[in-house]
Amino acid sequence: MSKQFQGRHGRAYLFANVVNVTAGPKENRMLITGLHAVADLHCTVCNTVLGWKYLEAFEQSQKYKENKFVLEKNMMTKLESG
């Protein structure tokens, strides 16, 4: 949905749907765009935190992010086939 997001470790991407992740517990977190209720997303294979899911946005201008997912580019690795 967007390539204009910033994660903890650099560039991040906003998605409507993701696969092969599980969500951690809900927590309120102050992000660049304000306070949000989020849940960290963990890889189902290696359990690495890949990003987060927006559960609730407290500012009206940020409501479009609710139930969307952010994955950080630097936290993902490409599997080599061989």
Least confident of 16-20, 61-65, 71-75: 71-75
Q: Is 24 helix (H, G, I), strand (E, B) or coil?
A: strand
Beta bridge partners of 40: 52
Report d(CA 47, CA 36) in Å as an integer: 23
Report d(CA 32, CA 44) in Å as an integer: 27
Q: What is the pLDDT of residue 67?
A: 97
Q: Please state the rounded mean pLDDT for residues 5-11.
A: 69
The answer to whether 37 touches 59, Cβ cutoff 8 Å, is no
Q: What pTM was estimated for this model as a whole?
A: 0.84
Q: Is 10 helix (H, G, I), strand (E, B) or coil?
A: strand
Q: What is the pLDDT of residue 68?
A: 96
Instruction: Report pLDDT digits (tens) over 20-66.
Output: 999 999 999 998 889 999 999 999 999 999 999 999 999 999 999 99
